[in-house]
Amino acid sequence: MKVHIIAAALLAGLSAASLSGAAQAGSFGKACTAEPREKWMSLESIERIVADHGYKIAKSKVKESCVEVYARDKQGTRVEFFIDPTTGTPVGGDWKNPS
């Protein structure tokens, strides 16, 4: 009986962990834009938009159709944004609740 309870608890924990990992993955697997690169903003312009919203940028890079930005908020908490490179807005979240 104990084995069944432990197995059920372990399975529930693994399921919850996999779901939380998927939620934290934000935009991975989803396109941020379908627009051609000629219509994209520069990485520097997107960094400026993120900084203008009060974040200190640690690293940014283009990843597939998104700009991925790693930053810290005003409290020093690490945040990650997936930015649509045509609009400069977060995908799958907003400025207060990053993806």
**With 80 as the cut, is the pLDDT of residue 8 above it?**
no
Q: Which of 99 and 7 is assigned the larger pLDDT?
A: 99
- Here the tokens at position 79 are 């945040």
The range of the structural domain enclosing residue 39 comes to: 2-83
Q: What is Dmax (Cα atoms) for the chain? A: 63
Q: Measured between alpha carbons, how far is 10 from 33 in angstroms, rounded to an integer? A: 39
pLDDT in tens, 28-61: 577 899 999 999 999 999 999 999 999 999 999 9
**Distances in Å between the alpha carbon of 93 and those of 9, 12, 39, 83?**
31, 27, 22, 10
User: What residue type is 54 in one-letter code?
Assistant: G
Q: Per the domain annotation, does 63 fall within a domain?
A: yes
> Domain tally for the chain?
1
The mean predicted confidence, pLDDT, of the chain is 79
Q: Per the domain annotation, does 95 fall within a domain?
A: no
Cβ contacts of 88 within 8 Å, gap of 6 or more? 41, 45, 46, 49
Q: Per the domain annotation, does 88 fall within a domain?
A: no
Q: What confidence score (pLDDT) does residue 65 get? A: 94
* 8-state DSSP, 1: -
Q: Per the domain annotation, does 72 fall within a domain?
A: yes
- Whole-model pTM? 0.69
